[in-house]
Every structure is written in C-alpha cells, then in structure tokens.
Structure 1
Amino acid sequence: MRTSRLSFLAPALAVTVALTMTACSSSDSSDSEAEGATVSTIFGDVTVPENPQRVVALGWSDAETALALGVQPVGASDWLAVGGDGLGPWVEESYDTAPTILGTYEVDIESVAALRPDLILWTRSTNDQATYDKLSELAPTVGAPVGTDIAYGTTWEGQTELVAEALGTQDEGQALIDETNADFDAAVAANPEFADKTVAIGTLYSGQLGAYVDGDARVDFMTKLGFVNSPVIQDQAEAGKFAIDLSAENVAQLDADLTIMFPIFQSADTITSDPSIQGLPVARDGRLVVLGDQNLSNSFSAGSAAGTRYAIENAVPLFAAPLKG
C-alpha cells in the first residue's frame, strides 16, 4: 500500500536550502533563449522563455499540471509520495522519460541547479521569499498567483491558468478548466442537498487532530459543491495557515452537517475506532465519511485539475449518500 507523506503542518515546516549553488545554471547555457510571456505572481512579474525545454516542477501538483498541458518536466517533486515518477493513478498522461524526483518541503538548490532548468514551476508551495530568491537565480521561477495569501493556497484553477501561461498553452489550460468546472456543475446539479450545509474536514496524524480552513484545496473543493466550512473551525483560522490543530478536548468542533476525515501516516482505523470521534453526533447519525482509500484521499488533497476530477467522480457519491432524503 502506498503511503502518503502529506504534512498537515507544512506551513510551519522550515524550508532549508543548500548555501552553495553549482555554477552550471540554465542562465549559463541558455543566454540566447527567446523571451516568452510575462507572468504575474505574488513575487512580481516573471518573464519566461518561449517554448521552455528543461522545466523543473517543484510545487505541489505542478508536474502533473505541466504534463496535462503537454510538457514533460525534467525534474519533479513527489508531493503525495506515490513513488516512481510521482504521478497518482488519476493522471492519464505519462512520461516518455521519468523526471529526476526532487524533495518537497526541503528544496535542495544544488539538485535543482544540476538539472539546468530554463523554467521552474513553484506555484503551490510555502511561498517562502528566501527560497524563491534562490530558485530565481537559477532560472525564471513562477510562484503562486497574485492574491494567494496562505501557504499551498494556489487553487487548481489558478495553478492551471498560471502553468498554461508560463508554458504558452493557454488554450489547452482553458479547456482543462472548462472540463473540470463542467464536472463540478454536474455534481452540484445532481446534489442540491449540498447547498449551505456545513462541512468539517479533519485529519488525525500521530495522535493529533486537525481541521482545514478556507483556502485549503479540500475546503475549496467542498465550497464549490455548495457547502460552507464549519464556522467554529473557520473562526480559528490563522493568517497564512491552511489548517488548525484541535486538542482532544475540542473534538466536538468537528461536528457538522457533514464531516470528512482522513488519516496521515496511519491507517483509517485510527479514526473509525476512536471513541471520541465515533461518539460525535455526526458519526452516530452516519454523516461522518472517512476516506480510508489512499488514492481517494490523495486525489482529494492533490489540488490539481486531474485530482479534482477524480475526487468528483469517486468521493462526491460518498459525501452525498448520508445527506440524501
């Protein structure tokens, strides 16, 4: 069974970087690269090369987004720890040549430099300025879209738009966005009972309870279906953070019209056998959905167009069942 390495506390993790960079960056070997589009990000405008050939995709789901748009990165980060080429089973495309797999939360600048990138994608990340500055010395680096105010807060739609703009594949990107939104529209039409229901999305990792807030990909997914994030959870949101910790005494705060939970670094039975969670009214009434299937919880967390479409097809029926009639 594949093991997820999603880190609930990613915003608080320090992103460490090597202090010494190799001398062979793409700026040494591609002085004659034609300039392409100018892309606006939270770090300012970035001029990217036309038809980049050596794309390094570091941000969460950046690699699968580039691949969906017809570009095969030479380096990629395996955010969901699915192994191999770092692509989940919801990704239809495949690599001709598997990319070099790089770290996730800790960006190894020397390893990135060794790939001689002419474009770096870092659209869904910590948004750390110091790391961005080091990456941008190697090659034009596309960070999160303008207006992103939390770590890993880039939406699937914003990521698709930004990556498509950087790669010069805007038509393909818009088509992917339209297809995904059509799936959402169909799900909303089929499930009118979702409208204005409260939802709490929680996790259990190493014995620690947590819940997600607006701006997180999972919460955005549910609000797009018509749900409202639980006010008792949302009111505790902290600036720049996509989640909160909950003490065991506050487990009742996970109660909502619908509660969704999944485990990190452990099996689903840590949730299904937890008496405090199973004693919640939402659990007793059968409105607690535990995503024990690793592929399903990963796709729900991926924050990509492909992962989102997979979750619409496979997770939405699970969310709908407890709320039907």
Structure 2
Amino acid sequence: MSAHFPSLGRRGLRRLATGTLAVALLGALSACGSSDDSADSAGDATAKASGVSGASGAFPAKVDTKFGTVTVESRPKRVVALGWGDAETALALGVQPVGQSDWLAFGGDGVGPWAKDLYDKSPEKIGTLEPEYEKIAALKPDLILDVKSSGDQTRYDTLSKIAPTVGVPEGGDQYKTGWKKQTTMVAQALGLADEGEELIAETEKKFTAATKEHPEFKGKTITVGSRSSAGWGAYVHGTDRVDFVEQLGFENNPVVEAEAGEGFSVTVSEENLNMLDADLVVMAPIGIEASKISDDKLYRAVPAVKDGRSVVFDAANISQAFATNTVLSIGYALDEVVPLFAEALK
C-alpha cells in the first residue's frame, strides 16, 4: 500500500479532480449558484491554468463557518492555506496553494512525504501561530483557508480583510476540526464538493479495512500523549490524534477526558504519570529524542508501559503522519501505526 491512495497516485489525484464523482457519503454539501455550460467551460479553462483542476461545484459557493457563511464568488485562482493540514487537503483535490503554513516544519514544500511532488511550484511559506499578514497580502490571494486553526476572532477578522477566508466550523476552535469536516469545507470553497466526498469515501474504506483486520482494538482504552521540553501531555477527544484512534475502535482514556478543557490536550505532571495508564499508551516526542520518553524511569513505571503495552514513535515520518491526519496522510499513518498498535496489544 502506498503513502496515500494506492489506486490513484499523483496522476490519479489529478484525474480525480477532473471527474464528476457522485458519492453521497455525507449527504448533500451546500453549494449555491448556477451557471450555463459555456460559463462552466470557461471556468474550467481558467481553473486549469491556475493549478485548479476540475469543476464539480457551482459558484458562488457558500461555506458555513463559526464566523458565519462565507461566500466564494468565483473559482479561486490564488489560494493561501494557513490551517493545520489545509494545504494537504487542497493538494488532494488537485489545487496548489500559492502560500501555505508548515506546521510540523517539514521543510521543502511544507508537506509530508505522502504529499511529495504534488506541487509544480513551491509555495511561499507563511508563519503558523502568528501569520505574516503582509506576506499573505502580497500574494494577492482570492481565497484563504484557515479551516483547522485556533478559531481566534482577531486572526479571522484580519485575514478576511485580505481575501474571503474560510475559518473554523462551529466547535472547531483550538484545532478541533476533524479531517472529514476539513475536507468537506475545503472542497466546498474550491467548488470541488463531489471530489471531496470521493476522497472521504476512499479514506473511510481504509479505516474500515483496518478495523476489520484488528477487531481487538474495539473498546480498548488508549492514551495518546506526547513529551516536549515543556513536559508531558495527553490529547483529548475532538483532536486529530484521538479522532484517528477512535475510528479504529479505541476509547480515549477516561481519566484524561475527565481533565479536558477547551484546549486540545491536558498537562500531565511527572508525579502523576500514572494518569497515562490505559490498555494502550501511545506517545510522541516533540522536539526531543524518543529515548527521553522510552528511557524515563517514571514513564517505565506506568502499569501499561511495564507490561509492554506502549508505543513510542521513534521515526519522525510516522509521528508526523499520525499528527497531520489529512486525507493524504491517513493512509500512510494507518500502514505504519496499526501494526505497532497490534503488536503492543499482544
């Protein structure tokens, strides 16, 4: 199995974005407006010239967000993707952003190896937590994607003065926009709703195959956490990493969930590392060596870790794919982490 869609590859993704793919997985996606055949043909020609291939949607397109309904009047030619994984989602739909944020410091084009070579021209890099607004404005975007971000009102207000901005959905604050919602919203904004549904359907098939192969995951509790120079933490329901394991049948650690607030994780003190204990403990290093987790005496004393029911990601690509959780990275992550989970639970 390849890093993302094994039956598609790069050319397949391009073809995917030029067909009219009627997959009703999520029901009807909202897109408003209409155009005649000649207008559609002219729009297709303009879109292909700007790196946007395919035209399954009509314009103006409307996308519901936390900040209200955003209207995209015509097919965007210059897209800036700022949210976590927004650029990869656009690339999966055949659209190459002119600017993007590199949240996980991949370098290069700012995307993981599962999205390698999907850019014809490298995008301008934009800051993450504090976007460089002048740089964004200089790119003259006609659409800004900020679908998976903090949901900060000031951030949104500033971006929307530059170009129509698709921000977080209701309930999507603090990076809690799931990959399906992200794909749906980005696809709607780009006029590629049908293609978005197809990508979601393909990704769902991968999860279904993994759960069928590993029924032992169902109902098992799991802690998904990390350690950085700042300390230990565990992720909560509604975030990418937990969403991923829940789709495999796991249940997030109830002790962690009891501490959940508005953020995407909870802090775990060294004296309380037993809070991590579950049927399976999965940890990722952030800015430190993996050995800082696996060799830590207090961590090794956690009951699940003592029993060998622990996975510490020691390869950057695996940890990054697991964290990115887009329609491009999920296939790669499933291939890599599912065998690790299964082995640890034996």
Q: Which moved more, 1:216-225 or 1:83-92?
A: 83-92
1:188-267 paired onto structure 2 within 5 Å = 188-206=211-229, 208-238=231-261, 240-267=262-289
Q: 1:38 aligns with which of 62, 69, 79?
A: 62
Indicate conservation of the 8 Å contact 2:176/2:240, yes or no: yes
Indicate conservation of the 8 Å contact 1:50/1:167, yes or no: no
Gaps in structure 1 of 5+ consecutive residues: 1-33
Aligned to 2:36: none
Q: 1:273 aligns with which of 287, 295, 303?
A: 295
Indicate conservation of the 8 Å contact 2:234/2:265, yes or no: yes
Aligned-pair distance for 1:126? Answer: 0.6
Aligned to 2:82: 58
**Is 1:181 the equivalent of 2:207?**
no
CA RMSD of aligned residues (A): 1.2
TM-score, normalization: structure 1?
0.87
**Is 1:136 the equivalent of 2:160?**
yes
Gaps in structure 2 of 5+ consecutive residues: 1-57
Q: 2:177 aligns with which of 154, 161, 167?
A: 154
Aligned-pair distance for 1:93? Answer: 5.0
Distance across 1 between alignment mates of 2:59 and 2:277: 52
* Percent of residue pairs bearing the same amino acid type: 51
Q: Which moved more, 1:199-208 or 1:263-272?
A: 199-208
Aligned-pair distance for 1:92? Answer: 5.0
Query: Any runs of at least 4 consecutive aligned residues in structure 1 with deviations exceeding 6 A, and if so which?
Result: none
Indicate conservation of the 8 Å contact 1:49/1:119, yes or no: no
The secondary structure found in structure 1 opposite 2:243 is: helix
- What count of residue pairs does the alignment treat as equivalent? 289
Aligned-pair distance for 1:35? Answer: 5.2
TM-score, normalization: structure 2?
0.82
State the Cα deviation string for residues 51-72 of structure 1 (Å, max 9, x = none).
Answer: 2001000111111110110111
Indicate conservation of the 8 Å contact 1:68/1:93, yes or no: no
Q: 1:111 aligns with which of 122, 131, 135?
A: 135
Aligned-pair distance for 1:299? Answer: 0.5
Distance across 2 between alignment mates of 1:277 and 1:308: 28
Q: Which amino acid aligns with 2:273?
A: V
1:279-290 paired onto structure 2 within 5 Å = 279-290=301-312
Q: 2:342 aligns with which of 296, 313, 320?
A: 320
